[in-house]
Homo-oligomer: A and B are copies of this chain.
Amino acid sequence: MVRVGIVGGTGYTGVELLRLLALHKKVEVSVVTSRNDAGKRVDEVYPSLRGFIDTVFSAPEVERLSDCDAVFFATPNGTAMLMAEQLMARGVKVIDLSADFRLKDPKQWEKWYGMEHACPDLIEQAVYGLPEVNREAIKNANLIACPGCYPTAVQLGFLPLIEQGLVEVDRLVADVKSGVSGAGRKAQLTTLMSEAGESFKAYAANGHRHLPEVIQGLERIAKRSVGLTFVPHLIPMIRGIHATLYAPLLEDGEAVQALYEQRYINEPFVDVLPYGSHPDTRNVRGGNVCQIAVHQPQGERMLVVLSVIDNLVKGASGQALQNMNLMFGFDEAEGLRIPALYP
């Protein structure tokens, strides 16, 4: 059994990791940390886990975490970068669900995240944990930077088009929408049910932290600069991301559906729907899958790609576990074969 630790076990990505790991046959959760809830049983804070986990929250200490084979950081930004180096020095593999190691340029990271990076030297070692792009590198990595939720949906949606050079990469639009769990489990006005329920709005239209991450990912594929307009919105629901992507075709789009099907034919967690489908976030809720559909409305040059994930699963904890499976040579889908919860 692989022994894993979870730092930040009281956030939504932490508890989601626990839900998934409860079904994983080769993993034992040995440490779950929480500064505020140290000493409490995990299932006292999360009664949904009663019967599935016996652990008690402990304070986040390197010493205790060093016994683990792998440690997940399900923490706010700025925490993993403080502990990753020490853990790695002791042979622990680090899987970071936060943003600390996503951007390759520390200057850009500091600009978007508003703090100094504590270990810029480690950034280069970090492998960006999008298996559909980096599978081989992930297998050998000691430090994984798991992609953000929006970047997962957007990159998987644009990927085949950009790899094949079919679209004008300087005029891309990503109109993205997320359920409120993406904002995390913290007391704040804006995600109160009275504020976020029964309403819909855009936010951070002038620049969201996931924008440079998406652009970095797309540019690596395009091998040229990419122009992307990226507008996030808040959906009055809990789980789910829907990315509506607009890409002007350079030539006619006849083979696009086949291209997507071919590109993802061997991917266990990317599911290309029949041409003209409308993927629904409910169909991926709780599951580790990205469902994608392609449209070419009225046969015009503007291609529309619809890409949905559960922000907490394929957009966070499920993808982190998929990375762990790859890192430890397990079946990539171990613990992740879970049908979505419908209705």
Contact = CB atoms under 8 A, between A and B. Distances in A.
B185 A279 contact: no
Given A47-B280, A271-B51, A297-B229, A306 B202 contact: yes
B298 A201 contact: no
Interface in A247-304: 248, 271, 273, 276-287, 289, 291, 295, 297-298, 300, 302, 304
Interface stretch (A54-62, A127-135, A231-239): A231-239
A121 interface: no
Given A194-B12, A207-B298, A302-B173, A236 B236 contact: yes
Contact of A238 (B180, B201, B289, B343): B343
Contacts of A297: 205-207, 229-231
Contacts of A278: 201-203, 205
B206 A276 contact: yes
Interface stretch (A90-98, A142-150, A334-342): A334-342
B246 A173 contact: yes
A189 B11 CA distance: 11
Q: How large is the interface on A (under 10, 10 to 19, 20 to 34, 35 or more residues)?
A: 35 or more
A177 interface: yes
Nearest to A303: B229
Contacts of A23: 337-339
A19 interface: yes
Given A47-B273, A185-B194, A280 B200 contact: yes
A196 B188 CA distance: 14
A197 B197 contact: yes
B242 A202 contact: yes
B304 A205 contact: yes
Contact of A244 (B231, B277, B341): B231
A40 interface: no
Given A47-B283, A205-B304, A246-B246, A12 B343 contact: yes
Contacts of A244: 175, 202, 231, 233
A302 B193 contact: no
A49 interface: yes
A214 B15 CA distance: 36
Contacts of A50: 271, 283, 289, 291
17 contacts: A19-B342, A23-B338, A185-B192, A185-B343, A193-B193, A195-B343, A198-B282, A200-B235, A200-B242, A201-B281, A201-B282, A206-B276, A206-B295, A235-B236, A236-B236, A238-B343, A286-B286
- Which 6 A-B pairs rank lowest in CB-CB distance, beginning with the nearest? A199-B282, A201-B280, A48-B340, A175-B175, A48-B342, A194-B343
Given A177-B200, A180-B194, A207-B298, 20 more contacts: A18-B339, A23-B337, A47-B283, A47-B291, A171-B302, A185-B194, A185-B195, A187-B187, A187-B189, A191-B193, A193-B238, A197-B197, A198-B282, A198-B285, A200-B235, A201-B281, A205-B306, A207-B297, A236-B237, A286-B286
